[in-house]
Amino acid sequence: MIKSFIGIVALGASLAAGTETPNITGTWNMGLEAGHVIPVALVLKQDGQKLTGTIALPSRNFAERVEVKLAGELVDRAFALTGTYDHDNDPKTLDISGKLLDDGTMEGTFTMADHGKMPWTAERLKERK
């Protein structure tokens, strides 16, 4: 009886650990795939299931980046983020959907007005110590 009880408790603990929401807070090297790879910085902050952050997109001026604020939600290992940016005084929306993979990288789809959908992959930057 005691062995059965211990086995049930251990099984419950392992199932609970497997459903824990991962933490994707950090800076990510994101590569948008649009005929060639466009490197962008994705910075995320997670508070439970709530996600906020920024993405630094290239602009028409090669030396400048447009920083777009993002907000969204993480459920299990999947997330969705939305942001609005100004394009020639015309607000445009971008959407990022993705998932955290078992190897710690992420992948998904980036959708931006006038540019359509683009697949992307991302790898978290390692923190310097």
Question: What's the confidence (pLDDT) of residue 129?
Answer: 66
> Please, is 68 exposed, middle or buried when counting C-beta atoms within 10 Å of its C-beta (0-12, 13-18, 19+)?
buried
Architecture of domain 21-124 in this structure:
Beta Barrel (2.40)
Do the Cβ atoms of 41 and 56 come closer than 8 Å? yes
Residue length of the chain? 129
Indicate if the pLDDT at residue 35 is higher than 90.
Answer: no
What's the predicted TM-score (pTM) here? 0.79
Where do the structural domains in the chain lie, given as residue ranges?
A: 21-124
DSSP 8-state symbol, 125: P
- As a whole number, mean pLDDT of residues 94-108 equals 97
Instruction: For 36, list phi and psi in degrees, rounded to 5.
Output: -150, 165
Q: Residues 43-81: pLDDT tens digits?
A: 999 999 999 999 998 877 777 888 999 999 999 999 999
DSSP string of 10-24, one letter each residue: HHHHHHHHHTPPPP-
